[in-house]
Amino acid sequence: MKSEIRAILIHGAASSRRIWMRLLEAMESPEEILTPDIPGMGDAQLPGGAPLSFEGWLAYFRSLGSGRRVHLVGHSLGGAIAVHLAREPWVASVTLIAPATRAYCESRRIASRSGRDPGSIVFERPLNRLVAWPGRISREDAEVLREDYAKAGPLLSRGVPWPPYPMDEAEYLSGKPVLLVYGEEDAVIPTFYFRRLGEDLLAEGVCVTTVCLPGCGHIPQLEEPWALTRVLSSFWAQPGLSGCD
C-alpha cells in the first residue's frame, strides 16, 4: 500500500538499486524503503518504450511518489533527480548523498562535448575511476558495481541525460528540510562542490544539515552503511518529519 512507503532511494549513474543493499541491511524497517532502478539502468526500462530523457526519469519517479508522503534520497546523479523533484507536494524531505550538483554537471557537460547529444553528459571517466578504485568496500560489493557498470554500457555510450538545472538548487529546495551527506575522500566528485552547495543553500535560507563522513569515499551507503543509517534516522526523526504516512 502507498502509505507503507516511508522513503524512496534513487541511485546514481551506471548503478542500480543494489547499491543500497548494505544500507537496507542496517535499517530497522527496510520494507518501508522503495529502491527502484532508474529506467535505462539496472533491470529497468522506461514504461511503454518512451525515449530516454531526464524528464522521462522525473515522470517515472513522480508516478512512484504521487499520493504518498515520503523522504526522498538521491545519490550522485540520483541526487540531481531528487533536487528536481523536491518541490513535489509528496516530498517530506530531501537527502542528497554525494550529489551531482549544478556546478559539477555544468563542468562535466563542458568537458564532455564530443559530438554526442548536447543534452547529455559523458560520465565514463569518473565512473571508470570509481570502478577501478571503489574505496573501502568489499570485493563482493565491488563486483556488483562492475556488473551494473557493464549493464549501463548502452546508456554510457550515448551519454547520460543531462540534468537541466534551469535554476539554482536553492530554488528547488526552498521550504524543504535538506540533508547533505558526502565522504571526505570522494574521488569521483571533488568535495568542494559539496561544500559550495551547502554554503549556497544556507545563504539562500534553505534549512540544510551538512554531514561530512571522515575516511569515506563516493558511496557512503556501501562504505559506511551504519554511520549513514544513524545520520538518516536522526534527520528523519526531527519534529515534523517523523510522521510521513
In this predicted structure, what is the pLDDT of residue 2?
44
Query: Does the pLDDT value for residue 52 go beyond 50?
Result: yes
Determine the 3-state secondary structure of 18 from DSSP.
Answer: helix
Q: Can you read off the three cell numbers belonging to residue 146?
A: 562492475
Least confident of 62-66, 112-116, 189-193: 112-116
Q: For residues 130-137, give the mean pLDDT.
A: 70
Per-residue pLDDT band for 131 (boundaries 50, 70, 90) equals low
Cβ–Cβ < 8 Å for 206, 216: no
Query: Does the pLDDT value for residue 235 go beyond 50?
Result: yes
Cβ–Cβ < 8 Å for 52, 46: yes
Per-residue pLDDT band for 29 (boundaries 50, 70, 90) equals confident
Share of the chain above pLDDT 70, in %: 82
Q: For residues 109-130, give the mean pLDDT.
A: 61
Cβ–Cβ < 8 Å for 184, 215: yes
**At CA 236, angle to CA 230 and CA 237, rounded to 5?**
90
Distances (CA, A) of 109 to 86, 91, 119: 23, 28, 9
Digit-coded pLDDT (tens) for 147-192 = 898 888 777 777 788 888 988 999 999 999 999 999 999 988 999 9
Number of Cβ within 10 Å of residue 15's Cβ equals 27
Q: For CA atoms 218, 221, 226, 232, give the dihedral sign.
A: positive
Digit-coded pLDDT (tens) for 69-97 = 899 999 999 999 999 999 999 999 999 99
Per-residue pLDDT band for 126 (boundaries 50, 70, 90) equals low
Query: Does the pLDDT value for residue 61 go beyond 90?
Result: yes
Domain boundaries, the chain: 2-236
In this predicted structure, what is the pLDDT of residue 82?
98
Of residues 122 and 222, the one with the higher pLDDT is 222
Bridge partners (DSSP) listed for residue 33: 7
Query: Does the pLDDT value for residue 199 go beyond 90?
Result: yes
Q: CATH: 3.30.70.1530, 3.40.50.1820, 3.90.1300.10, 3.90.1150.10. Which one for 2-236?
A: 3.40.50.1820
Closest CA relative to residue 201, chosen from 232, 235, 177: 177
Q: Can you read off the three cell numbers belonging to residue 214?
A: 571522515
Provide the b/e sequence for 69-108 (b: ≥16 CB within 10 Å). bbbbbbbbbbbbbbbbbbeeebbbbbbbbbbbbbbbbeeb
- pLDDT averaged over the chain? 86
